[in-house]
Amino acid sequence: MAVSSYKLLFIALVSLAVSAAVVHARGQGRGHHGGKHHLRTGPVTYDGRSLLINGKRELLYSGSIHYTRSTPEMWPDLLEKAKHGGLNVIQTYVFWNIHEPVQGHYNFSGNYDLVKFIKLVQEHGMYVTLRVGPFIQAEWNHGGLPYWLREVPNLIFRTNNAPYKYYMKKYVTMVVNKLKEAKLFSPQGGPIILAQIENEYNHIQLAYKEMGFSYVRWAARMAVKQNAGVPWVMCKQTDAPDPVINTCNGRHCGDTFSGPNKPYKPALWTENWTAQYRVFGDPASQRPAEDIAFSVARFFSKNGALNNYYMYHGGTNFGRTSAIFTTTRYYDEAPLDEYGLPRDPKWSHLKDLHKALNLCRKPLLWGVPGVENLGKHIEARFYELKDNSTICAAFLANNNSKSEAIVNWRGQNYYLPPHSISILPDCKTVVYNTQTIVSQHNARNFVRSNVANKMRWMESPEPIPSTVQVPINNRTPLELYSLLKDHSDYAWYTTSLELNPRDFSVKESIQPVSANCKSRSRNARVCQW
């Protein structure tokens, strides 16, 4: 049979299989009554294969949606689209500097109503992974740490430092207790099944030497002692102390992740970057839907139990919340764009992927894994139940990024496009290929607002003050962050510099910067700006 015929047959099989997956998903989906979905809740444990929620294994498809980067009015629609896209977990950070902007004064209202957001996730039939931090990075101002911490005497961030550990523990305890009071952890009947302490600490751990290693051990113990009833994770933390689980962040964790640091921990992917956040001056970041799908299929084919898309919806950095150089538009190229609109084919292609993986659920969670080399760059990974050979799922991978292939596996021929994985939930029938998109493409159009068109730029002049109006208050330049205490990025202050003749321009055609200079001696002048 010619390659072109294989392609036609393959596309037909994909279309039929996706339809079958829809029927299967409807038949297997959790029921809901009165508009509210019912989640399986209870104690959460784990083994080397997956998380165990009330004793039952789960395949988990997660997406990051940060409550602070959207509005409460947007949350129901975002969660509904995430659910419809095949997700069963929502991941979010908890943002210390917006919840405790002033020491001892807490804010959990409006866009910052964490409890309301988590309850909405549960109403939509999804679980929650809570990344408490408290350092979160997240392209967020000060990495989520409140400014007032900088003014605590002798405090050193993120190390075995008594003042920092005191305030960190106090904050983590406050967050966990608040969520316990709302009964939001899974053993209480809530949706939270995982929590994270710290964030990518391996990046700086060696700089602190032994103080860094002891801090990791302390943070793990402190988190576990919160008795939240769910496992804790540390992302990109190869030495995560038991019982904390080390997880992967990156684009291709199916190949780059060395795996859990103990055989009795599951393989979890906390950040699968769907694009890249933007900084001012950079073009839009693109990551093809085909590459994301390939990475997810590969991870689950290699014993993966949870994949989280970072971000699934990026949203907006309101006010001064974004980190340095980061634009207000955050991960606009995610499956749901800044406005919550689906980006197709990315959103739909991943939705079809989740359906295909759900068809493989039983062999993936209970089957015995196997691998067969089918040629250069070609392999088959499969899972079968020992006592029931009909329960079988396979992943046929073509790792060659340039050449297609036709392979024979278990007596059947299969066409594999370049850099693709075909999913066979019965070890016979291809229902999905990561490189073959059958979903629609869309484009986003803008209509100019009548209200916005009536706006006009206005100038607010601000004359440079003189030294009489703003006397010298410091003999050396001030550190901006300490001066402004993170309330603004702009300020006037006056200082003085002592300049020698060699500090001025020596060419007659170049005039020195205007300054009020007075001779102090034959060889020096004092200038004020």
Q: One of 58, 100, 139, 271 is an active-site residue; which one?
A: 271
Please report, as a single letter, which amino acid is at residue 53.
Answer: I
Q: What pLDDT is stored for residue 394 in this prediction?
A: 98
Model pTM?
0.88
Q: What is the pLDDT of residue 341?
A: 96
**Secondary structure of 71-86 in the HEC alphabet?**
CCCCHHHHHHHHHHCC
pLDDT tens digits, residue range 281-294? Answer: 998 888 999 999 99
Determine contact, residues 30/125, Cβ cutoff 8 Å: yes
Instruction: Express each pLDDT in 221-241 by its tens digit.
Output: 999 999 999 999 999 999 999
**The pairing of beta strand 89-93 with beta strand 60-65:** parallel
d(Cα 253, Cα 484) in Å, to the nearest integer?
41
Determine the Cα–Cα distance for residues 10 and 501; give it in Å rounded to an integer: 79
pLDDT at position 520 is 57
- Whether the per-residue pLDDT at 523 is higher than 80: the answer is no
* Angle value at C-alpha 311, between 308 and 317, nearest 5 degrees: 145
Check residue 7 and give its pLDDT: 47
- pLDDT(508) > 80: no
More confident residue, 6 or 449: 449
Q: Cα(334)–Cα(315) distance, rounded to whole angstroms?
A: 9
The confidence band for 524, taking pLDDT boundaries of 50, 70 and 90, is: low
Q: Are 358 and 29 in contact (CB under 8 A)?
A: no
**Mean pLDDT, to the nearest integer, of 149-171?**
98
- Annotated active-site residue 384? The verdict is no
Residue 14: both structure tokens together: 């994909």
Which of the listed ranges 22-36, 250-264, 459-473 does the model predict with the highest average pLDDT? Answer: 250-264
Strand bridging mode 60-65 / 304-313: parallel
Q: Which amino acid is at 114?
A: L
Q: How far apart are CA 394 and CA 67, in angstroms?
A: 37
Query: Helix 346-359 and helix 3-28: axis angle, to 10°?
Result: 70
Spatial distance between the Cα atoms of 183 and 163, rounded to a whole number of angstroms: 30
Is residue 379 flagged as an active site residue?
no
Residue 305 CA to residue 357 CA, distance in Å, equals 11
**Residue 169 banded pLDDT, cuts 50, 70, 90:** very high
Task: Please write the tens of the pLDDT for every residue from 190-223.
Answer: 999 999 999 999 999 999 999 999 999 999 999 9
Distance of CA 499 to the CA centre of its chain: 50
Q: What is the pLDDT of residue 12?
A: 41
User: What is residue 527's predicted lDDT score, i.e. its pLDDT?
Assistant: 56
> Residue 332 has what pLDDT?
95
Choice between 305 and 529, residue whose per-residue pLDDT is larger: 305
Mean pLDDT taken over the chain: 89
Of 348, 341, 378, 383, residue with least CA distance to 362: 383
Query: Of how many residues is the chain composed?
Result: 529
What would the pLDDT profile of 476-506 be if each residue is shown by its tens digit? 888 888 999 999 988 878 887 777 777 777 6
Give residues with Cβ within 8 angstroms of 52, minimum separation 6.
44, 45, 46, 58
pLDDT digits (tens, 9 = 90+) for 376-412: 999 999 999 988 778 999 999 999 999 999 999 999 9
Q: What residues pair up with 81 in beta bridges, in sequence order?
A: none
Q: Give, to the nearest 10 degrees, the angle between helix 346-359 and helix 289-301.
A: 20
Quote the pLDDT of residue 457. Answer: 82
Give the pLDDT confidence score for residue 5 in this predicted structure. 40
The pLDDT value given to residue 298: 98
pLDDT tens-digit readout, 254-280: 999 999 999 999 999 999 999 999 999
At residue 9 the predicted structure's pLDDT band, cuts being 50, 70 and 90, is very low
pLDDT, tens only, 84-130: 999 999 999 999 999 999 999 999 999 999 999 999 999 999 999 99
525 confidence band (pLDDT: 50, 70, 90):
low
